[in-house]
Amino acid sequence: MKRVPPRQLRRLQAKMLSNLGLDVKEIGRAGRVVIELDDREIVIENANVFEMKLENESIFQIVGGEVSEGLKREERYEPSSEDVMLVAAQAGVSDEEARNALIEANGDLAKAILLLKSRRS
């Protein structure tokens, strides 16, 4: 099968879409795109953004970029001081190390303690 150069492929795609009544244009390169869902957020860095218009509707397409996913900022786990003290005492580490391990373990005390103990050995 013959390989089509990307430039020619984009032209063919634009022609086909315009025949269907879609107007496609490249908006540009986005430094950061954040998609906030109910329970998490998706962050896409350095992606190309395209807009497709059909009548009065717009569809945005994000192409490429580096994708990372995590909990929403306001919903990130923040350990209580009691949990931090318990984990620090059990693992024999500082409060700051215990706090970081609890955040990494998303509040699971046993997992945080095991994580800290495995790092020390």
Tokens 């192409």 label which residue?
63
Q: Higher confidence at residue 17 or residue 108?
A: 108
Q: Indicate the CATH number of 77-120 among 1.20.1070, 1.10.10, 1.10.8, 1.10.3470.
A: 1.10.8
Q: What is the C-alpha to C-alpha distance for residues 22 and 52, in angstroms, rounded to an integer?
A: 6
Domain boundaries, the chain: 6-72, 77-120
Residue partners of 110: CB distance under 8 A and separation at least 6 = none
As beta bridge partners, residue 43 has: 34, 68
Decide if 42 contacts 35 (C-beta within 8 A): yes
On whether the pTM is more than 0.75, the answer is: no
Q: What is the C-alpha to C-alpha distance for residues 10 and 61, in angstroms, rounded to an integer?
A: 14
Task: Calculate mean pLDDT across residues 38-47.
Answer: 87
**Superfamily covering domain 6-72:** Nascent polypeptide-associated complex domain (2.20.70.30)
* Residue-wise pLDDT tens digits, 69-99: 877 655 667 889 999 999 999 999 999 999 9
